[in-house]
Structures are given as structure tokens and as C-alpha cells.
Amino acid sequence: MGALTNDQAVSQEIFKMIEGMKSKFPQLDFESYIHKMNRSFNSKDNMGKDQIFHLSILTAVERISVEEPDWTFVAANLYASRLYEQCRKVRGLKDEEKYGSFYGLIKTMSEMGIYDDRLLEFYAREEIDFLGSIIDPLKDRLFTYIGIVTLAERYLTKSHDGQVYELPQERFMIIAMTLMMNEPQDKRLNLIEEAYWALSNLYMTVATPTLANAGKSYGQLSSCFIDTVDDSLRGIYDSNTDISTLSKNGGGIGVYLGKIRSRGSDIKGFKGISSGVIPWMKQLNNTAVSVDQLGQRQGAIAVYLDVWHKDIFSFLDVRLNNGDERQRTHDLFTGICIPDLFMEQVEARGEWHLFDPHEVRRILGYSLEDHFDESRGDGVFREKYWECVNHPDLSKVTVPAIEIMKAIMKSQLETGTPYMFYRDEVNRQNANKHKGMIYCSNLCTEITQNMSPTLVEEEIVHDGTIIIHKKPGDYVVCNLSSIALAKSVGDAVLERLISIQVRMLDNVIDLNGIPVLQAQLTNERYRGIGLGTFGWHHLLAQKGIRWESEKAVDYCDSLYEEIAYLTIKASMELAKEKGTYPYFEGSDWHTGDFFSYKGYQSEKWIELKQEIMEHGIRNGYLMAVAPNSSTSIIAGSTASIDPIFRKSYSEEKKDYKIPVTAPDLSAITNWFYKSAYTIDQHWSIKQNAKRQKHIDQSISFNFYVSNDIKAKALLDLHLDAWGSGLKTTYYVRSTSGAEIEDCESCHS
């Protein structure tokens, strides 16, 4: 292989790098790569170092293909070297240094006001120097090209003028230091080492807000929030203020609107005055657009409504591209809260009745949404529902249940939404039902935690000051991170990984300064976390298991049972050390009912159940599988529990495209990477039913369908999902196509 030409010093540097990669990737044609580089260099004069690096990277990138996927690692290595070069300049490092002084970086970024001052307050110089010494630049070789580019462009810390100061392993170490900040000093460094081990080996990823904001002087660490809006003018506007505050700080929001009175309801006894939920959705739509997330993207808000609400048909139309634009909210996402009884009526082609929640409260003295069926086919909800149907003084609209279902599916095929939230199943499996009710999910349908509205009880003037007394509701907060299944299972590190991962998630709760105080209180009371996974299709391909097979279904069952066991055990061990969550007493964890309804009867589960009943558990909610598409890209794997779209695609950049292939693509794994749109979705439901059994919250679970799918086929998928005990379904992703973007906040 001949040396590169043009700038001899730079060409020799690149030559050495490529020479070092030849033995690792002997299957790649480096001779033709060098030949093309030489031709390019010889055709141009006076190329600078950055230009030479750029050209060498692009030449490697254009070779990434299904036939030669490993060029992505060559391009990533070259890109990392260019990052080192850029950081050397701005940080004044020596030529041979890849990573400079870690203490110097923290001091510089703190002086700029970008890093949190607590990093220097909590850690001594000696501790920071030690942590800097265990940073391993070789871990940068684990990145794919699209992975390191995504990390660098979106998450590495920059100065105010946009210069990259922080390198990938420093970002991971800063995250580890931040999340372990409050741990006892005698074991803190060991815990940081463990957290860095987990992150730097790409065994796990943290959620986007944590990845972006840990160690910073701004932003917060939690992913998504869920609000319950009270049926009052004050409640509606206070909620909008809270949502805008969280959106500004980078949170995705789920909003339950089911308590708000319907169009035509009375206000203060005046009949037919209320304009229903749509005008308030217009307000939220404006908030989503005008209060963006740290200037990076517009706010992301999902609104949920019950399928028995009188406004349901207009609600289902809000994202359609035709009709009255005054009734449209194109920038909101929608979800429907569905009881078992509705699906039974759809199946039986029966009638369905719509009510005004305000009228139900006024005449019957209860809220229909406050109840659920304790078992399939029987329970309090259906008793209350039929009482409403048969009450002579209660107005109702009666329609065929299938007509509502048709409207749901029409909207899903056009817009991807509404999401489906099966409220009875969710509440039956709620480990904290002793403290409340779950009305809806979050922006990405994986979080299911107790909810209630915040109420203003008193507003007084005292000594010239206005004092507002509020009764804080349960304002849900989700703190997320995810296991990289293929790498973690392949290296047999699940037990070690989950132990540190649960601690990291739990520490987010105490570190986070949430600007909406009722959310802060809820976070502290339940200490809810969401440990999830990604790389399921990657793992199946590695193991040579076909997606559409009983083997995949059985493996899903056994693997997620193992993950559940290790997660619950880790939280129990934390409770021994730090105490239980405040609402533990009376929970299904405390009574042992959680283990009974999950059917955990083996010796190890019985032993764990007894330990938890005796010692408690640290976190009231534990597991949730988020979409995590961008963070799975960083980790070089497949997103969430989804099948791949295709074996190769191009990621669009401003002035070029990045070819991306399925991870670990080879002549062997190739046969196990079947496209999402060619997979029988009923097999995906079978897998997810097994997975859902072991996850105490829920899963961002998509349907992938062709744009010409028959209504009956889509209906059968929904009936199968509900009948199989799924708690939620996420997007209906149709080949017809408008691009559907996941909530960035929930990427974990």
C-alpha cells in the first residue's frame, strides 16, 4: 500500500491509522481506498489538515455497503481523529495528545459557565485526575460512523461559539461523575468507575436529557412528564404554564384531558356554553410550537382522551389534513384511553355511548374515569358505565362502537396516531394502585404511573404578598435508560450492568431540579424509573433466531424475565442501603401481590419476594421500554424492540448522505434481518405479550403496515394486541408515509 501524498505529515498520520486498521478488517479493500485517496490528493493543491481528514472520511463513508459494512468503523476512527485534532486546537493540547487534562477541561468549561460548578465543589483535584487517568480513548473505536457523528453533533459539550471542547469518553465520565455525585465518598470513585464501564463499553445508554445535560449548568435530566388537567379555567391555564416550563427545559409531555367537560356542556348552570376540549388543545398546540426545547426542536406534547367522551370524534380528526382548520392541532400527538368494554363492543359490533364527564360528576356524583375493571369481563368500571347508560337524567350520544374504531384507524393510517392506551390492563397491573389511578401514558406510551390533577385550594394576601396554596397532584416524571441487548447479552454482563444502571437511574431523582414542583414531589414519592432495552432485532440476528418463530417468542419470555428479576433485585438491594420509596407500604410490592399476578413461582422469585416484603424496594416503578432511536444509533444497534426498516439506508445530512447498514451485518446475520414491513405483525404482538408480562410499566410498541392494508386486517391487529394483554400501542407506521418522528426526550 503506497503512502498518501499532498501534505506529507498529515498523509503519513492517516497512513499509520489505516495501516493499523488493516489487520482488524482484513476483508476490506484498503488498496483501492488508498488509490482513490491518492488520485483525489494529487488533483488538489495546498489542502489543509482538516480538508485532508474530511476527504479521507468521506472516501471511507462512500464505501459503506451491505457487502462491506465495516467501512463504518474505518470512517468512525478517522472522524474520531479529526475530533481529537479539533479539541487539541481549542484546548491548547500537545500534538501527540488525544485526550488532554480532564481537570483542565472541567475547569475551563466551569469558568465558561457551561459545566455545573458542583463538579469542582464535590470532587477534589486528585479525584478528578484519577478519573481522567481511567478514561480509555480506545473505547472510541467501538463507535460506528453514524454513531460518533450523532454523539458529536448533538451531545458533546461545545463552547458558546460552537467549538467542540469535550470528547466522547469525557462525556461518559462527566455523566458518571454527575450521577454519582451524592454517593458516600468512600465508595463514590468505585461507583463512577462502574458507571463509566457501562457507558464507555456501550452496554447501555442514558436518556437524551441526561446524555445532553449531565454536568451542565442548565437543563434537566428527566425524559418525559404526564399531567392531569383539572376541569376548571384555573386548572387548564396553570397546566399550560407548567407544560411550557417543562417543554422549555427539554421534556416531552403527556396530557390527560378526560376530566374536561365536553362541547355543549353547562358552565355555572348555563346550558350549552362549553366549547369542549378542542379549544384547549389549540392552546397546547401553540405552546408546543412557540416554547421550543432549548432552541433545538419544537415542544413535543401528546394529549389523551377517553373513548366515551362526547368530543371523541372531533378529537380523532384534529391531525387530519382536511376539514376545518380551526378544529385542527397538527403539532400535537393524540392517544385514546380504551376500556375492555369498548373493545368487547367493537368485537360484538355493539353500541357505544358517549358522555360529558362534567354531567356525570354533577348527576351521579362520581367520575367514570376514576374506575377500572379489576378482571377481564368484570369490574367496577363496567358497572358504572352501564349505570350511566341507563340513567334517565344523563344525556348521551349512542353510536356503533365500530364507527369509532373506524375513525381511529383512519387517523392512524393518515397520521400514525392516535396511540392506544388499554386502561383496564394498565390499572390492573399497577403496583401502586393503593395510591391512585393511571389515566393515560406519556408521549411515547411506555410510562404508566399514578396521576391526579393539581388543585388551587386557597389564594390569599398576607403582608402585601400573594400566597397560593395548592394541593399537588401526581405529576408523572419518567427517568430512563436502556440496556444494549446484543452487546450486554453477548458479553454476559447483565447482572453487573443492571446493578449500576438502577443506581444511576435512582440518583437522577435526587439530582434533578424539576421546575414544576408537583412533578418534583411525585418523583420523590414514587421514585419511578424506566429501565428499558434496545437492540432486540440485533440480538436475534446474532443468535440466528428468526423474528417470526416460536423460538423468538420463547426467548423473549425468558430474557425479559431475567432482566425483570435483576432489576427488581437491584432496587431491593438499594432499598437496604438507602431506604424504600415513601409510598411502599400497602403497594403490591409490599403485599407480594405483584409476584402473584405475574405468576413468579420459582424458588429464586419466592426468595426475592420475601426479601422485598421484609426490606422493601427503592423504586415504585421500575421498567419501561422507550423508542430510543437516536441513542441506539450512538450505541451501534437497532432501536428498542422494533424490527429494522431495511438492511441499509442513508441518513441525510446538510451536504451529504451517510450510508447505514444493519449492525453486525454478515453473510450469516443477513438472513435474520427481515424488514419491519414484511414481518407478520401478529408475531410481534406474540413477542410483546411475553415481554409485557415482565415489565411493570409499558412498551413503545409500533405496528408496521402497508398503506393499502384492509380495515379488517388492521382491526385484527388491534384486537390481538388488546386480547394479548398489551397495555399500550404506539404508532401505526404505514408505508404511505409522512415521516414519523419519535420524541427525542424519550430516547434512552
Between CA 213 and CA 514 the distance in angstroms is 13
Helices (H), 579-669: 588-591, 593-598, 603-615, 629-634
- Give, in degrees to the nearest 5, the angle at Cα 703 between 372 and 667: 140
| Paired sense of beta strands 224-228 and 476-478, if any | antiparallel
* Residue 440 known to be catalytic: no
Q: Is 21 strand, coil or helix?
A: helix
Question: Counting Cβ atoms within 10 Å, is residue 591 exposed (0-12), middle (13-18) or buried (19+)?
Answer: middle
Residue 164 C-alpha cell reads as: 467542540
Rg over alpha carbons for the chain, rounded to the nearest Å, is 27
378: phi then psi, degrees, rounded to nearest 5: -155, 140
Provide the 8-state DSSP code for 228: E
Residue in 240, 285, 442, 450 annotated catalytic: 442
The type of residue at 109 is: M
Count other Cβ atoms within 10 Å, centred on residue 523: 23
The residues with which 533 forms a beta bridge, in sequence order, are 483
Cell numbers 457523528: residue: 149
Longest dimension (CA), the chain: 91
SS3 content of the chain, % helix, strand, coil (to 5): 50, 15, 40
Residue in 369, 425, 446, 744 annotated catalytic: 446
- Give, in degrees to the nearest 5, the angle at Cα 722 between 717 and 728: 95
Cell numbers 440485533: residue: 538
Between CA 397 and CA 213 the distance in angstroms is 49
The type of residue at 487 is: K
Between CA 460 and CA 277 the distance in angstroms is 30
| Paired sense of beta strands 732-734 and 397-400, if any | unpaired
Strands (E) across 441-491 are located at 455-462, 465-471, 476-478, 480-484
The residues with which 469 forms a beta bridge, in sequence order, are 458
Dihedral, 336, 341, 344, 346 alpha carbons, nearest 10: -40
Count other Cβ atoms within 10 Å, centred on residue 573: 17
CA 139 to each of CA 80, 99, 104, 202: distance values in angstroms, whole numbers, following the listed order = 11, 12, 21, 9
Between CA 124 and CA 214 the distance in angstroms is 19
* Residue 444 known to be catalytic: yes
Dihedral sign of CA atoms 240, 241, 244, 246 in order = negative
Residue 160 C-alpha cell reads as: 458558546
Between CA 62 and CA 738 the distance in angstroms is 27
The residues with which 481 forms a beta bridge, in sequence order, are 206, 531
The type of residue at 1 is: M
The type of residue at 178 is: T
Residue in 444, 556, 743, 746 annotated catalytic: 444
Count other Cβ atoms within 10 Å, centred on residue 354: 19
Between CA 243 and CA 454 the distance in angstroms is 13
Contact 695, 624 (CB under 8 A): yes
The residues with which 534 forms a beta bridge, in sequence order, are 484
Nearest to 169 by CA among 208, 199, 145, 126: 199
The type of residue at 83 is: L
Q: Is 538 strand, coil or helix?
A: helix
Q: Is 614 strand, coil or helix?
A: helix
Contact 552, 656 (CB under 8 A): no
Contact 389, 395 (CB under 8 A): no
Residues catalogued as catalytic: 442, 444, 446
